[in-house]
């Protein structure tokens, strides 16, 4: 990672950057680059690697602040909290019978603020994050936007009381030095959390787009390498299994499945090719593509524009996904001009309460709070949906194959050898099972005919 604390060269100063792999490596590198102050807020408990890094950071002379819930689990943890406090680290124990936000709207598992310059929100990868964080939506998002950094500092300071007093150590009996959380969290915290959820959802959408781009690139390369051979293989396999099914009923389901696979392949080949194959990009071009995509996604996502602009924004956002999937930089530049011409407005802020009696103002405040919480729930639902879509893509056969094969050309060559061997086997069995020259004319059974045997 380049030096993220320089005034220049920080692409996420405007557009957040997301990591869905090697999250701890990214955070560890950022911690090592810190020079003044590190503040960490944990939703449940502190991953051991993070705590050890905080101890090392404090020993280098930096200010270290850690906020975490005052729970029995944390008090009885194997982590020796006094290691940090003994060398001048500040620990804020967040005491509350309820969360600072409603139970279904929790903080990100981890919030890290570095040198008043960079913020990380999200969770670390499997095997590192605490068990209580396992159900949280994955991904670690890095922010360099100065306004968001200031907002994060305000939220963390108000919650943990960094400006009011030193934090207490567990078991010292000084409840006054711990922090009692407000039940509703406050308007500033809600606005901050809405921004976090919104940009995590955008980061997940960007990861979906990148996954789709890689899958399209892989599928196109695979078709170029294996297409004609795959067609012969699937047809011969369907014929071969149909031949077996005539003799053995247990093979009929396999025969039907093979016929369906053949039909699907033929239909896909017959469908008009609406898109050219994805562009092959070098590292610099791909980085430029990603940066422009993230910038445009933040500008034209329907959730980030006024109600009156949402239809047009949805059209542009859909075009953005297709252009990114194809790796079409020219189309992205054209979309950039279209987005600029559209002049989308941000969603209208809640109107301030009108002057009136105390009861009316209280009712207006309650209604506004309910509206904010409803929006937070909607954002969290959108984030969960994008995570589900990403998981669906990453459990698909294409993704499992391409992500496990760093050398595609070698894998295609191996598959060619395998398909040729299987094709020869199918054809030899069909020739033996048929009489004379009619062997080559063994029909592929229709799906309906195959089903009648099941």
Cα separations in angstroms, 213 against 17, 174, 207, 301, 373: 18, 55, 10, 19, 35
Partners of 382 in beta bridges: none
The tokens of 307 are what?
């109600």
> Residues in the chain, how many?
454
| CA dihedral sign, ordered 286, 292, 295, 300 | negative
The four Cα atoms 240, 246, 247, 250 give a dihedral, to 10 degrees, of: 80
Partners of 180 in beta bridges: 95
Cα separations in angstroms, 112 against 19, 156, 381, 438: 15, 10, 24, 72
Residue stretches of the chain with pLDDT short of 70 = 1-15, 96-106, 163-185, 271-277, 348-357, 360-366, 433-454
29-79 pLDDT per residue, tens: 999 999 999 999 998 888 889 999 999 999 999 999 999 888 888 888 778
Partners of 269 in beta bridges: none
H/E element, 90: strand 90-95
Confidence at residue 6, expressed as pLDDT on a 0 to 100 scale: 45
d(CA 259, CA 268): 14
Cα separations in angstroms, 188 against 60, 79, 143, 194: 33, 32, 18, 10
pLDDT above 70: percentage of residues in the chain: 79
d(CA 177, CA 182): 16
Specify the pairing of strand 37-42 against strand 63-69. Answer: parallel
The tokens of 102 are what?
């409603």
d(CA 444, CA 260): 11
- Residue 44 dihedral angles phi and psi, to the nearest 5°: -120, -70
Burial of 332 (0-12, 13-18, 19+ CB in 10 A): buried
pTM of model > 0.85: no
Burial of 353 (0-12, 13-18, 19+ CB in 10 A): middle
How many CB atoms within 10 Å of residue 32?
12
198-233 pLDDT per residue, tens: 889 888 888 999 999 999 899 889 889 998 899 899
Cα separations in angstroms, 234 against 227, 269, 275: 11, 13, 25
d(CA 431, CA 123): 59
H/E element, 391: helix 358-394
d(CA 369, CA 139): 28
Confidence at residue 258, expressed as pLDDT on a 0 to 100 scale: 86
d(CA 394, CA 180): 42
CB 122 within 8 A of CB 141: yes
Domains of the chain: 11-185 (3.30.870.10), 206-278+349-404 (no CATH)
- Residue 246 dihedral angles phi and psi, to the nearest 5°: -65, -20
CB 74 within 8 A of CB 68: yes
Pure H helices in 161-251: 187-245
H/E element, 31: helix 23-33
d(CA 267, CA 231): 12
Confidence at residue 393, expressed as pLDDT on a 0 to 100 scale: 92
């Amino acid at each position: 990672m380049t030096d993220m604390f320089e005034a220049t060269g920080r692409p996420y100063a405007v557009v957040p950057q997301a990591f869905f792999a090697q999250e701890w490596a990214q955070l560890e590198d950022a911690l090592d680059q810190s020079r003044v102050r590190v503040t960490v807020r944990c939703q449940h408990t502190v991953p051991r690697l993070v705590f050890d890094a905080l101890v090392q950071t404090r020993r280098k002379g930096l200010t270290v602040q850690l906020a975490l819930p005052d729970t029995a689990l944390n008090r009885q943890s194997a982590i020796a909290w006094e290691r940090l406090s003994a060398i001048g680290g500040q620990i804020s124990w967040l005491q509350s019978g309820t969360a600072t936000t409603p139970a279904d709207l929790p903080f990100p598992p981890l919030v890290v603020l570095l040198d008043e310059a960079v913020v990380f929100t999200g969770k670390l990868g499997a095997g590192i994050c605490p068990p209580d964080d396992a159900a949280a939506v994955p991904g670690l998002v890095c922010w360099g936007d100065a306004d968001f950094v200031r907002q994060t500092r305000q939220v963390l300071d108000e919650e943990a009381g960094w400006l009011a007093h030193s934090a207490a150590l567990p078991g010292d009996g000084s409840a006054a030095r711990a922090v009692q959380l407000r039940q509703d969290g406050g308007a500033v915290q809600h606005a901050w959390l809405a921004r976090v959820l919104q940009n995590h959802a955008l980061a997940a959408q960007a990861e979906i787009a990148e996954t789709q781009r890689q899958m399209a690139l892989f599928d196109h390369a695979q078709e170029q390498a294996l297409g004609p051979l795959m067609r012969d293989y699937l047809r011969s396999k369907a014929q071969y299994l149909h031949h077996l099914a005539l003799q053995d009923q247990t093979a009929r389901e396999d025969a039907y499945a093979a016929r369906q696979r053949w039909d699907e392949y033929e239909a896909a080949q017959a469908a008009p090719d609406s898109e050219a194959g994805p562009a092959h990009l070098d590292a610099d071009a791909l980085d430029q593509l990603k940066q422009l995509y993230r910038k445009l996604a933040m500008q034209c996502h329907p959730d980030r524009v006024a109600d009156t602009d949402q239809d047009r924004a949805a059209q542009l956002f859909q075009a953005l996904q297709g252009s990114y999937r194809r790796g079409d930089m020219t189309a992205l530049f054209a979309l950039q001009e279209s987005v600029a011409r559209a002049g989308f407005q941000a969603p209208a802020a809640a109107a301030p309460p009108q002057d009136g009696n105390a009861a009316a103002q209280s009712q207006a405040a309650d209604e506004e709070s309910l509206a904010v919480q409803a929006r937070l729930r909607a954002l969290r639902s959108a984030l969960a949906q994008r995570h589900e879509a990403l998981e669906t893509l990453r459990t698909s056969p294409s993704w499992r194959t391409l992500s496990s094969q760093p050398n595609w050309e070698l894998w295609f060559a191996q598959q060619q050898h395998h398909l040729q061997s299987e094709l020869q086997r199918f054809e030899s069995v069909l020739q033996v099972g048929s009489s004379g020259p009619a062997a080559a004319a063994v029909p592929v059974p229709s799906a309906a005919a195959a089903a009648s045997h099941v």
